[in-house]
Structure 1
Amino acid sequence: MKQWLYFLLVVWVALPLGATEMPLNMTQGVTDISGKVYDLHMTILYICCAIGLVVFGIMIYSMIYHRKSKGAVAANFHESTKVEIAWTVIPFIILIGMAIPATKTLIAMEDPSDADLTIKITGSQWKWHYSYFDKDIEFYSSLSTPREQIDGREAKGENYLLEVDKPLVLPINQKVRFLMTSDDVIHSWWVPAFAVKKDANPGFINEAWTRIDKPGTYRGQCAELCGKDHGFMPIVVQALSETDFDNWLVEQKQLANNATVAAAASMSQTLSLEELNTQGEQVYIARCAACHQPNGAGLPGVFPSLIGSPIIKGPVDDHLNIVLNGKPGTAMQAFAKQLSAIEIAAVITFERNAWGNNSGDVVQAADVGNFSSSNASSTEPIEVVADAASTIAATTTDITDAATEKTTQAIEAVAKVVTPEVVAAADLPTLTLEQLIAEGEQVYATVCAACHQASGAGLPGAFPSLIGSPVVSGPVSGHIDIVMHGKPGTAMQAFSSQLSPQKMAAVITYERNAWGNNSDEAVQAADVASHGQ
């Protein structure tokens, strides 16, 4: 009997200790929360092992020493009050012992207050969109595993299907708050090393947070079955020291300025059909092939074929519109903010000439800019770049030193195009209250409703209601200021670089007159532009 007891005691101690080193066990992670989750996991494992030791120990002992071959006779007894009390009280005590640390850990996991940095994470099929509040930095992060590896034409890489073109960059030793939502279906942002796994639901905002202890690269993926390419939606987080993160912020802003200048310069370029097809094929494989397939055949009943489709064979403007603005109610996303004008021109040219379409159509970056300028649904950055490109083109008609100097000045000016001060110099229109409300409702539904809800009621404890709020019912200048510059320490971001003065004026007017606010105040673009000066 003693030998059995010693054996079971060794098993009870060895199993959980061995589990800590097993590759299939939960990892400790690199955050305080992940450490707490790991400790909770191991505590529960010890309790489960102890229960298993007692239960199976009694079962094995009974089968060996009370078997029929040894002459054991079954006892004849009825209920015992003491036993009833024991097997009720003991499990209750065990559950309480498990619930207390679990509750403490869950409360800590759900406390995103006092964050040093807030990042909005938007999931879409099949990529992530990261927006740094108060930093004027946003970008899309997509799978970068080569198609050759996915199709089996090349050997799989070390981080197969867990690598992206642009990782999320975070500082260590700072509390980072995540606001998660979705553009289409339910996704789930999951990074095991942070013990963060939160659903991203369309029309709702979920919160999570982390504080990373040490630099490194940490990988995860979408943990929700979000469609056929669910497995092609990885997450890569690069954690940097605070100094390196500050340097990265400066570098990103410089890169954004350079990209704006390059985009403006590309507006004046004229590429051949072959050049556009070559670049367009690369863009198509990276951005479009997941849905429409590399051969353009799509998936019947899910994603339409591009071979001889009405969009491909129809007017170029219709093709431009659907690529730039997407198609509501379908999986077709808007790529106006995801691709440059030259990339959009190239991929449209490729689609109109590949797979036997052979239209011979050539779409240039200038065509994209001109279309954007003439359609209010397009995004402001492309509009302004198109205007800058016109200036560049005008200055290049006479190739002299003076003209070259003017061209350089025009290109350099593009770096400032997204500020309201530049727009204030233009002749801004004056709209009626009805026109402002109509446009403002569209802007609100696109930009604001995810947080403040379509009804303006907000989410209590997370996002304030706009119905009769002090900001909406207070001075117009205060309302303009918070929309333009945001509110530090909250999820309210600055929209001065995201929306034009007219769109800000429209959404402010809408908020001050919707949901029973009824102020009858009409805020004009000139009011917003002058406020920013």
Structure 2
Amino acid sequence: MKQWLYCVMAVLLAPPLGANEMPLNMTKGVTNISGQVYDLHMIILYICCAIGLVVFGIMIYSMIYHRKSKGAVAANFHESTKVEIAWTVIPFVILIGMAIPATKTLIAMEDPSNADLTIKITGSQWKWHYSYFNEDVEFYSILSTPRDQIEGDETKSDTYLLEVDKPLVLPLNRKVRFLMTSDDVIHSWWVPAFAVKKDANPGFINEAWTRIDKAGTYRGQCAELCGKDHGFMPIVVQALPEAEYDAWLLDQKQQASNAAEAAKAALSETLSKEELMAKGEQIYLSTCAACHQPNGAGLPGVFPSLIGSPIIKGPINGHIDIVLNGKPGTAMQSFAKQLSAKDIAAVVTYERNAWGNDSGDVIQAVDVSNAANGGNADNSASAPQPMTSDSPMESVPTDVQQVVATVMPIDLTELTHEELMTEGLQVYTSTCAACHQATGAGLPGAFPSLIGSPVIKGPVEQHINIVRNGKPGTAMQAFASSLSPRQMAAVITYERNAWGNNTGDTVQANDVNSHGQ
């Protein structure tokens, strides 16, 4: 009898003890929340198994011992008050027992307060953009699986389609808050090891958080059907001890500084056509080939062919412009913040000379800078031109913006109130509306309303300061390195006069520039 008892106990206890090692079961993860989710999953699973065991046990028992061949006769009764009460009360108690731990876990999952670090995650087809608030660190993370593996010409690696050129790096034992949005369609940022899965919707901000307990590399992917290359949008997170993370952060800032210096030097650098073609091919394959295909043929009806394309065969300025700023209403996105002027020059040179296009055109980084500022890119020998009121900084690549003050004058042209309001609406829509909403109403508890806000109604200098330098400890980041004085002046003027604020204030670029000196 004891042997039978031991066998029954082994059968009942073995699955729970080894459940987290089973390949088909939910993974336990490396965060406290993922552990809570796993425990909740197992509790509900065991309750369901117990219910199934009781129900099917009674059914099997009844079929064996109350079958017709044994002479069993069905009872003749219509209803039973006791049974009615039992099958109402027992499920109710079971549901309450399931709801209590589930509610506790869900509340904990949705509480991003008191975070040590805030990261904005922006999805776009088909890459992720990570921005570390108040750290001046941001970068794109793109699939790095070689095209030969994707096309079946090479053996696929263990991390096939789950590897990127630059992973998101997070510290251990710090609460990290994620703000998620999208540039185009709906994406979903999902890392199973963290029990984090949150939609990234264009025009909205969703929040999530994590605190990682174990160092390592963790992988996920977009969990929303976001387009033809949905499966090519992986997520890789590298979790480092706090000291190593701090060292990494310092290194990233140094790299950003070096990139700014390199961008400045690139404006006076002249590369040969062969060098541009080699570099351009690399950039094209990693950035453009997913849509336009490695052979430039595109996908008919979806992505246009670049072979003999009117853009490719047309003026260089038009070609540079569409790479810099994209094409509204199509899948062609802006690469001004993703590629340097040198990279854009290389890929444009490559596209204009590959696949039999053979235009002979050679584009340099200075040509991209000139085109971005309203100059003429068709003359590669032309020097950088001063910015005018008709050539706002919004089209300049990020790395060029960071050094533009040293290579060309800052545009401090005074504009009328109406001109500032028009430009301010554009800047607000592209930069601020994701958090504060298009109506200025914000998101209660997450992003403050700008309608009648103390900052909006207060001194202009205070408003300029918070736009330039952000607000530590909040999601309000500094825009001094990403917006020009003219753009900041325009958006401040717009905010102080839109949605019924009507302060009458007109802020000029010189006011913003003077405030920062």
TM category, shorter: over 0.9
Shift, 1:382, TM fit: 5.1
Hey, what's the Cα distance between the residues in 2 that align with 1:324 and 1:262? 19
Q: Any stretches of 5+ residues in structure 1 without a counterpart?
A: 392-422
- Residue by residue, what CA displacement relative to the aligned partner does 1:256-279 show, whole Å, maximum 9, x if unpaired? 111111122222222222221221
2:488 paired residue among 500, 504, 509 = 504
Who is 2:379 aligned against?
Answer: none
| Pairing of 1:436-475 with structure 2 (within 5 A) | 436-475=420-459
User: Percentage identity across aligned positions?
Assistant: 77
Does the 8 Å contact 1:370/1:386 carry over to 2? no
Who is 2:253 aligned against?
Answer: 253
- Residue by residue, what CA displacement relative to the aligned partner does 1:231-253 show, whole Å, maximum 9, x if unpaired? 11010111111111111111011
Who is 1:201 aligned against?
Answer: 201
- Residue by residue, what CA displacement relative to the aligned partner does 1:501-520 show, whole Å, maximum 9, x if unpaired? 11111110110011111111
SS in 2 for 1:217: strand
Hey, what's the Cα distance between the residues in 2 that align with 1:35 and 1:294? 43
SS in 1 for 2:432: helix
Q: Which amino acid aligns with 1:159?
A: T
Quickly say closer, same or farther: Cα 1:388–1:510, change in 2 above 3 A.
closer
Shift, 1:5, TM fit: 10
Shift, 1:41, TM fit: 0.6
Who is 1:489 aligned against?
Answer: 473
Q: Which piece of structure 1 moves more, 181-190 or 61-70?
A: 61-70
Q: Which amino acid aligns with 2:353?
A: N
Does the 8 Å contact 1:191/1:197 carry over to 2? yes
Q: Which amino acid aligns with 1:177?
A: R
Hey, what's the Cα distance between the residues in 2 that align with 1:304 and 1:164? 26
Who is 1:419 aligned against?
Answer: none
- Is 1:378 equivalent to 2:399 in the alignment? no
Who is 1:527 aligned against?
Answer: 511
SS in 2 for 1:20: helix
Shift, 1:337, TM fit: 1.0
Q: Which piece of structure 1 moves more, 457-466 or 137-146?
A: 457-466
Who is 2:227 aligned against?
Answer: 227
Hey, what's the Cα distance between the residues in 2 that align with 1:479 and 1:502? 15
Who is 2:288 aligned against?
Answer: 288
Hey, what's the Cα distance between the residues in 2 that align with 1:382 and 1:173? 33
SS in 1 for 2:235: strand
Does the 8 Å contact 2:264/2:400 carry over to 1? no
Quickly say closer, same or farther: Cα 1:301–1:162, change in 2 above 3 A.
same
Does the 8 Å contact 1:8/1:57 carry over to 2? no
Who is 1:399 aligned against?
Answer: none
Hey, what's the Cα distance between the residues in 2 that align with 1:239 and 1:276? 36
Who is 2:183 aligned against?
Answer: 183
Does the 8 Å contact 1:12/1:50 carry over to 2? no
CA RMSD of aligned residues (A): 2.1
Shift, 1:73, TM fit: 2.4
| Pairing of 1:356-367 with structure 2 (within 5 A) | 356-367=356-367
Who is 1:174 aligned against?
Answer: 174
Quickly say closer, same or farther: Cα 1:336–1:427, change in 2 above 3 A.
closer
SS in 1 for 2:21: coil
- Residue by residue, what CA displacement relative to the aligned partner does 1:311-362 show, whole Å, maximum 9, x if unpaired? 1111111110010011112211111111111111111111111222221211
Hey, what's the Cα distance between the residues in 2 that align with 1:203 and 1:508? 20
Hey, what's the Cα distance between the residues in 1 that align with 2:491 and 2:98? 50
Who is 1:430 aligned against?
Answer: 414
Shift, 1:9, TM fit: 7.0
Hey, what's the Cα distance between the residues in 1 that align with 2:72 and 2:472? 77
Who is 2:33 aligned against?
Answer: 33
Shift, 1:381, TM fit: 3.9
Q: Which amino acid aligns with 1:223?
A: A
Does the 8 Å contact 2:340/2:400 carry over to 1? no
Hey, what's the Cα distance between the residues in 1 that align with 2:18 and 2:479? 53
Q: Any stretches of 5+ residues in structure 2 without a counterpart?
A: 375-390
- Is 1:127 equivalent to 2:111 in the alignment? no
- Residue by residue, what CA displacement relative to the aligned partner does 1:197-225 show, whole Å, maximum 9, x if unpaired? 00000000000001111211111110101
Q: Which amino acid aligns with 1:227?
A: G
SS in 1 for 2:490: helix
